[in-house]
């Protein structure tokens, strides 16, 4: 276990898009710094976000256009004005749109300002960034430029020379689309520059940043287009099997994610280089990392591509131990958390424990069954992370309204807090448990109901949109939460 995870801490789960702010979603602007100040004042030392990648049209941060690139919609526009690369008068009505890339026109104008007036130091910094990130940035920027040329279609529908990455076609495209390629590189430079400034501020205020790595990547991504051998694809680049999970707590028909599976034989032969580079990118951005769907490193659910649901699939073994050993040999003892929810076998537990990784405990899963339920706090050990709920759960207040009487009576009997509301008792139970890290979603601190839920697994609309406002965080709520952090020795 990495030392960062070997002490009692409190964390808050809040995605960047859920921050308040002027634009249609939260970003790296002043409100992000205000949130760090709130965490610091409350004695909270961990801020957990969702993945920061570039989502597709559905907005899901778990289905992105790149495993490395950041989402330019998170860029703080005022930062560009402050550096005098963008004039306030250059804002336009289109910049306030609802699309994921609603800031593109402003960043394009900022690039012109940067090229015209940036200091030598900034120019050198930009050039160094492009050089350091070339192993993914060059293909990504070309991918995005071509995607724009071909009307945002998936790369599998592109003309053959570009789909198959013919050298002549790509060289010609790099010349013809040079200005667009530069734009995508500049966006990434600004994204990483702003995020790293925020990370530095958070760390200076004793707040660690906790990131999330989706185990799979989107089929329509720069990664799959540029690294087809890494994935299980046929000779024409099509998938015959897709990723997902079988029926479980979240869905009666399972979840058909549609991601490509890894060609683990090829990855093994290459020393897992693609995965190691991916981990390096994430470790630069975060202090702690969670591997989403960790059980997929032991065995992954393969669904025939032509199946509409995830019910008819099978488990296929993965070389998780060899992968984690390769990562450890290259990068050392990484502060990793294993998202070990769902169908967990003895082999998955053994893989997690072999590397001494903390798993996850969800209090909303604890009640309504017997005393051997692994999510009951009596079964916790220090090396785990406890949540009241995650981004995939209802808010805890919403959960208390939805459970049946048996579950409610069990929870009240177990928690033993008859004088406080059940949702408050769950927060206190999480913070008071032996788990080294207790994470509370911001919705639960604000005591919000189901309408503030972040995501409903298996659905494609109206997710990832929730935002909080500071007027929801009363002085009493902030003071009480800070009191609990101290009361349970998590400050």
The residue among 94 and 46 whose pLDDT is bigger is 46
Q: Is 292 a residue of the active site?
A: yes
Q: Is the pLDDT of residue 6 over 60?
A: yes
| Confidence at 98, pLDDT banded by 50, 70, 90 | very low
Q: Is the pLDDT of residue 1 over 60?
A: no
Q: Is 381 a residue of the active site?
A: no
Position 383 scores a pLDDT of 97
> Which one is catalytic: 212, 220, 223, 392?
392
pLDDT digits over 356-408, tens only?
Answer: 999 999 999 999 998 999 999 999 999 999 999 999 999 999 999 999 999 99
Position 3 scores a pLDDT of 82
Reported pTM? 0.95
Q: Is the pLDDT of residue 447 over 90?
A: yes
State percent of the chain over pLDDT 70.
97
Residue 465 in contact with residue 409, Cβ under 8 Å? no
Counting DSSP H helices and E strands in the chain, the numbers are 18, 12
For the chain, domain boundaries: 1-48+358-491, 69-208
Helix (H) or strand (E) holding 314: strand 314-317
Q: Is 252 a residue of the active site?
A: no
Rg, the chain, Cα only = 23
- What is the bridge-based pairing of β-strands 208-214 and 314-317? unpaired
Position 101 scores a pLDDT of 45
> Which one is catalytic: 292, 298, 340, 394?
292
Residue 118 in contact with residue 80, Cβ under 8 Å? no
| Confidence at 460, pLDDT banded by 50, 70, 90 | confident
- The conformation of residue 249, written as its DSSP 8-state character, comes to S
State percent of the chain over pLDDT 90.
90
pLDDT digits over 131-189, tens only?
Answer: 999 999 999 999 999 999 999 999 999 999 999 999 999 999 999 999 999 999 999 99
Instruction: Using alpha carbons, list the distances in angstroms from residue 317 to 41, 99, 261, 264.
Output: 46, 39, 11, 9
> Which one is catalytic: 31, 76, 298, 339?
339
- The conformation of residue 295, written as its DSSP 8-state character, comes to G
């Amino acid at each position: 276990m990495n030392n960062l995870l070997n002490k009692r801490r409190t964390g808050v789960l809040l995605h960047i898009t859920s921050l308040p702010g002027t634009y249609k979603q939260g970003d790296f602007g002043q409100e992000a710094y205000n949130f760090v100040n709130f965490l610091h004042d409350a004695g909270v030392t961990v801020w957990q976000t969702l993945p920061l990648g570039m989502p597709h049209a559905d907005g899901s941060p778990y289905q992105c256009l790149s495993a490395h690139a950041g989402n330019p919609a998170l860029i703080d526009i005022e930062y560009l004005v402050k550096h005098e690369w963008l004039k306030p008068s250059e804002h336009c009505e289109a910049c306030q749109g609802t699309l994921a890339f609603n800031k593109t026109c402003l960043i394009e104008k900022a690039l012109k300002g940067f090229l015209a007036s940036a200091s030598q130091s900034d120019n050198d910094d930009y050039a160094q960034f492009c050089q350091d990130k070339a192993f993914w940035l060059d293909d990504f920027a070309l991918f995005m430029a071509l995607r724009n040329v071909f009307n945002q279609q998936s790369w599998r529908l592109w003309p053959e020379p570009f789909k198959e990455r013919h050298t002549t076609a790509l060289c010609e495209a790099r010349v013809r689309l040079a200005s667009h390629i530069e734009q995508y590189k500049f966006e990434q430079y600004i994204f990483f520059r702003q995020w790293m400034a925020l990370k530095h501020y958070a760390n200076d205020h004793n707040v660690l940043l906790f990131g999330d790595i989706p185990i799979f990547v989107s089929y329509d991504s720069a990664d799959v287009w540029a690294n087809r051998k890494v994935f299980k694809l046929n000779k024409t680049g099509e998938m015959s099997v897709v990723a997902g999970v079988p029926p479980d707590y979240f869905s009666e028909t399972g979840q058909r994610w549609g991601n490509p599976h890894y060609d683990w034989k090829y990855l093994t032969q290459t020393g897992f280089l693609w995965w190691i580079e991916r981990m390096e990118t994430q470790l630069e951005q975060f202090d702690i990392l969670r591997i989403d769907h960790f059980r997929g490193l032991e065995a992954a659910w393969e669904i025939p591509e032509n199946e509409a649901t995830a019910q008819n699939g099978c488990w296929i073994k993965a070389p998780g131990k060899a992968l984690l050993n390769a990562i450890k040999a290259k990068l050392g003892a990484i502060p990793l958390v294993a998202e070990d929810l769902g169908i967990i076998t003895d082999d998955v537990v053994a893989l997690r424990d072999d590397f001494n990784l903390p798993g996850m405990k969800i209090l909303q899963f604890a009640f309504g069954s017997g005393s051997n339920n692994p999510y009951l706090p009596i079964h916790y050990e220090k090396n785990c992370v406890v949540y009241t709920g995650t981004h995939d759960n209802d808010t805890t207040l919403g959960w208390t309204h939805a459970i049946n009487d048996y579950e409610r009576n069990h929870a009240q009997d177990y928690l033993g807090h008859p004088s406080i509301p059940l949702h408050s008792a769950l927060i206190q139970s999480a913070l008071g448990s032996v788990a080294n890290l207790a994470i509370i979603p911001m919705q639960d601190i604000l005591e919000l109901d189901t309408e503030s839920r972040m995501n409903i697994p298996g659905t494609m609309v109206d997710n990832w949109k929730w935002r909080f406002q500071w007027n929801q965080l009363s002085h009493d709520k902030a003071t009480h939460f800070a009191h609990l952090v101290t009361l349970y020795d998590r400050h």
